[in-house]
Amino acid sequence: MRHNDFQRQSTVHDDGPGVLITRVRGYAAFNTIFFAGRRSRVDAAAADLLGLQRGQAVLDIGCGPGAFARVLAERVGPTGHVVGVDPSRQMIDHATARARRLPHCEFRVGTAQELDDPDESFDAVTATFSMHHIPEGRRDDALAQFFRVLRPGGRLLLADMYATDRIRPIAVRVLTRAMRHRHDEAGASDVARAVDPIAAVDVRNYAGALRRAGFDEPAFHEIRPSTGCLVAVRPGPRG
């Protein structure tokens, strides 16, 4: 399976949605290989870091096919509410179909940097394996949006690939190869400035930006296999 079979970028400009993953089957196959069939374990451990309670509201950014959003929906229960957001219509359609039995879990097309949710409307916000898809020049905007929609005391979870062996760094570079080239809808491309693909997915590099956005000092957690997480809290007592 070639990387370009399931991932493509839709725009040259930082005001676009960023990298779009549109092939659901290809995305699922990559996850199975990269996480050695243990992606569900990673999702459960990541959800544990949020300390969710029944009845809470969660926003899942870059939700893809909706697997993690469904885990979050199970944690908050039917009195809670989970919203999954992704710029790919194909992913949203798939996620919606898979969540028909979870009326408190909904999905919509959108981008992290331009959320239209009201201020302080969520108890937790998650962006798992998606921050490096946001245009580099808009990532601070996305973090500001996460802060805005979180309630005081709410938690933000950022998670991405965290290479801990010799094989997975290669997989990370393959996954992020598209970050070196930007493609417009006509298929023309120009070479983007060189970036280190490992640095692009290392969530620890967002610690300073999170502090500048107003979050408390973030805490780093490693989840095996090959996942790094940053958890940051919006200051203030929980409502």
Amino acid 188: pLDDT:
33
Largest CA distance in the chain: 50
Nearest partner of 110 among 81, 79, 145, 77, judged by Cα: 145
Cα–Cα distance for residue pair 111/10, rounded to 1 Å: 13
Cα–Cα distance for residue pair 198/67, rounded to 1 Å: 25
Average pLDDT by stretches of 10, the chain with 239 residues: 36 47 60 64 95 98 95 98 96 94 96 96 96 92 98 97 62 50 35 46 94 98 90 89
Helix runs in 15-77, H state only: 24-34, 39-48, 67-76
In the chain, where are the structural domains located?
3-233
Amino acid 219: pLDDT:
98
Cα–Cα distance for residue pair 85/107, rounded to 1 Å: 6
CATH class entry, domain 3-233: alpha beta
Residues in the chain: 239
C-beta of residue 184 within 8 angstroms of C-beta of residue 11 = yes
